[in-house]
Amino acid sequence: MKILVLDGVRQAGVEALQRPGWQVDIISERWTEAELISRIGTYDALIVRSATKVTAAVIEAADSLKVIGRAGVGVDNIDLEAATRRGIVVVNAPDGNTIAAAEHSLALMLALARNIPQGDASLKHGRWDRKHLVGVELRQKTLGILGLGRIGSAVAKRAQAFDMGCLGYDPYISVEQANRLGVELVPLDTLLERSDFITIHMPLTEDTRHLLDAKALSLMKPGVRIINVARGGIIDEAALAEAIKTGKIAGAAVDVFEQEPVVSSPLLECPNVVLTPHLGASTEEAQLHVAVDVAEAIAKFLDGGLPNNAVNMATIAPEIMEKLAPYIQLAEKLGSFLAQVAGGISRLRVTYSGALMDWKTGPITTSILKGMLERIMDDHVNLVNADYLARRRGVKVETVHRGNGDDYHNRIAVEAETAEGQVTVAGSVFQPDSPRIVEINGYRVDAVPTGYMLVAPHQDRPGIIGKVGTMLGEAGINIATMQVGRKKQGGPAVMVLGTDAPLPPAVLDAICEIPGIYGAKQVVLL
């Protein structure tokens, strides 16, 4: 394995990658996009902070790249869509700099409230301007927190120690969760109208870009103070500068900017503003923690596991993953089975029943798509890009959860809609390591989904199974297992034979010519 580490990520933090046979290249100088494109081709993993832009062009040139690690929280410097399209996992380190960013938010809030930078500058210029630098206390003020994730929650906890009341706006958490944090969850407009201080802890997305624009600023209480240690672009810098100059906003403390490094922001010439050069995560402890976290996530992925902090795929806790693992393996086999017995699949309906009814089954559904698409596409398919590739092919997916397990403790049924009609296959896990195919097109079977399988729909009448066995024997192919599913004597049935070797095309064609056999298929589930 070859791993490339850029942007000054701490060497001590990537010790998890120092293994026999693994080459870790730690580059201290800044590479241009062209340099990165020319050199990325042989690397299996890439670790960056915020400086390097991992663009679509870089990803397209990364022939061997399997995983990108961001030593920090935000991944706006990585083209997620391009990475997902190529099946490259993107992981981050959301916990490592939580305390550093929360403490920096409080440091800026205090500096803004008490005019600390102005006092320092004034004194160093020989002035004693006490009367011009009267500040305000945090005690009994209302703090509005935009975003109650890890950092926003940590800020709330510390602000309450200053005897501040906390309002929160976050569309993705419940009132109960906010209450546990001691935060009153309110609509955005209410937060803007009631807050004395406002601190931002949201990602930069299309929904949050310029969330605090001129209109939002006009709703704020006169004299409000704003702190941003999240992402540049959430505040309209020109609108903020104008509101400060008119006195509507008492001041702002900003650590992040729309363009970085910042050279021309209107905030640079604005009074009552405290500015820092993106220092939110810049502590010795945070830089070490994020490097360790992302290195461990990458090592886990390269070892064949699923990382806990994947950004572009479902994140699964280890204890949940242990439960899901046999069903994920079964699901991939079911998807592959369908792709080999049915062509032109346009829609999938996945039904989970029994114990699976109450589980988070998204990763299982994705595994079905992975197994299916691997058989019909030249693209590299994995759990990262399977959903994307299915959408691109126009495959619609529906999932259903129902309580009845149909005599099985757990059951996954996949119904595929094709131009020729519907094909169904169902599976169950009898023991942690015993997956089974239990139904094909409504006929019950008990087939181990592995190796070479001959699936032969046929008319249930004497002699057909014997003829198939004779043909296989004459071709020197041993039958390992046999299952026959039927609903009534003499009616339609399905035969599933496990063989020790693949069937030559001529043998399969001959079997299909046997009267009473309707389109036998060979399925390979290695």
Is 260 catalytic? The answer is: yes
Which among 429, 425, 410, 444 has a CA at the least distance from the CA of 523? Answer: 425
Would you call the peptide bond into 261 cis, given omega within 30 degrees of 0 as the criterion? Answer: yes
Q: Answer whether 512's CB lies under 8 Å from 471's CB.
A: no
Q: Answer whether 47's CB lies under 8 Å from 3's CB.
A: yes
Helix or strand or coil: residue 350? strand
Q: Are strands 492-499 and 451-459 parallel, antiparallel or unpaired?
A: antiparallel
Helix or strand or coil: residue 349? strand
What's the one-letter identity of residue 14? V
Sign of CA dihedral 75, 81, 82, 84: positive
In which residue are the tokens 């210029």 written?
A: 125
Phi-psi region of 126 (alpha: psi -120 to 50; beta: other; left: phi over 0): left
Residue tagged active-site, from 35, 81, 137, 260: 260
Residue tagged active-site, from 278, 289, 411, 436: 278
Gap between the Cα atoms of 93 and 74, Å rounded: 9
- Structure-block tokens of residue 343: 């062509």
Question: Which residues on neighbouring strands pair with residue 253, listed in sequence order?
Answer: 227, 274
The distance from CA 355 to its chain's CA centroid, rounded to whole angstroms, is 25
Residue tagged active-site, from 10, 85, 104, 231: 231
Q: Which residues form the catalytic set?
A: 231, 260, 278
